Amino acid sequence: MLEIVNLSKSYSSFHALDGVSFSIERSSFTTILGPSGSGKSTLLLAISGFVEPSAGDVRLHGKSLLKVLPEDRNFGIVFQGYALFPHLRVGENVAFPLQMRGRSRSEIHTRVRGALERVKLLDLIDRYPRELSGGQQQRVALARALVFDPELVLLDEPLSALDKNLREALRDELRRLHSEIGMTFVLVTHDQEEALELSDRVAVINRGRLEQFDTPSALYETPATRFVAGFLGKSSLIKVAVGKPSGDKILLAAGGYVFRCPARQPIATAEGLLMLRPEQIRLVDEGGTAAGNLVPGKVTDRSYRGAEIVVTLATEVGELIVRLPTGNMSAAPALGQKVLASWDEQAGWLLPAVGG
């Protein structure tokens, strides 16, 4: 429905965006994810029409939007900091886009009430924004962006100003809202958890470039670059020499050990990085045996997180991070204890050693 085509934006010598392309499906929830300064805000401003791209195109239903003014794009935007009208009451804020479209009084009345009911703020319709909490303001901004049935709802870091509990509650609400009304949502965030949890698709942006555009599970399990692997969740990276594929496995050599990993994608280089997610690694007592890949190591750090214990191992192939559920009291090893780390030959993902 919305296509970002080879979009670039430069400010004198600085490339804020560099040839970004992806497309957003109707009714999907798409997230633009990146660290601060990655160009994701520039991308949002280019989609909404406040920044004119240096090259490339933004197309809606196949038609270029470049000549279309922001006020004509019909996108509902929830700005960072919400940008509510401070001199207007909640109801008047939500009515604003309808008034601008010349809707009738009675239609405005019913729609405003409907939108506020949807975000559970109907009883605050006569308040001023400054009388509301951050979470309530955020929901007013959301109601205002939804009330006129926009083509697209753009959310710029909508949850970043809120504290953790509220953020999680609003995250659930956002997901519920999206599935209820079936509009196309585009979220801009630096929070990888938010991106993984909410989105159908995530565009990972780094230094103005699109690193990967894929589903959350594909990004987490099969990242295209080292940046994506590191930005989404924790992982251990083992530098390996890549051998020839044998059957559906590839042989990898590192520090005198040989590992097997699934031959899922061709690796052209002789060097690679074997990525292991913390939950893929199990610990076995020293002297024990286990199937799959094995490497001995020593516990150098352990941190208790309630549902899990995160253990760091020093091994001959580098540092490994292991996540152990605390539910089973078979107990995490003590600091300094020697253990064997093991993982399935089905687990692991090979990344190119250079780039990213």
Binding site for other proteins (CB under 8 A): 48-50, 69-77, 79-81, 83-87, 96-97, 100-101, 128, 144-145, 148
CB of 226 to other proteins, least distance (A): 35
What value does the CA radius of gyration of the chain take, rounded to a whole number of Å? Answer: 24
Q: In what order do the strands lie in the sheet with 236-246?
A: 257-262, 249-254, 236-246, 271-276, 349-352
CB of 156 to other proteins, least distance (A): 9
CB of 105 to other proteins, least distance (A): 17
Cα–Cα–Cα angle for 201, 202, 207, rounded to 5 degrees: 155
CB of 126 to other proteins, least distance (A): 13
Are the C-beta atoms of 332 and 324 separated by less than 8 Å? Answer: yes
The residue (of 86 and 247) whose beta carbon lies closer to other proteins is 86
CB of 48 to other proteins, least distance (A): 6
The residue (of 100 and 314) whose beta carbon lies closer to other proteins is 100
The residue (of 84 and 237) whose beta carbon lies closer to other proteins is 84
CB of 108 to other proteins, least distance (A): 13
Q: Print burial letters for 174-207: b (CB count within 10 Å at least 16), e (below 16).
A: beebbeeeebbbbbbbbbbebbbebbebbbbbbe
The residue (of 96 and 213) whose beta carbon lies closer to other proteins is 96
Please count the CA atoms within 13 angstroms of the CA of 131 that sit on its side-chain side. 11
The residue (of 17 and 78) whose beta carbon lies closer to other proteins is 78
- Alpha-carbon dihedral sign for residues 192, 283, 246, 270: positive
Are the C-beta atoms of 276 and 236 separated by less than 8 Å? Answer: yes
The residue (of 100 and 335) whose beta carbon lies closer to other proteins is 100
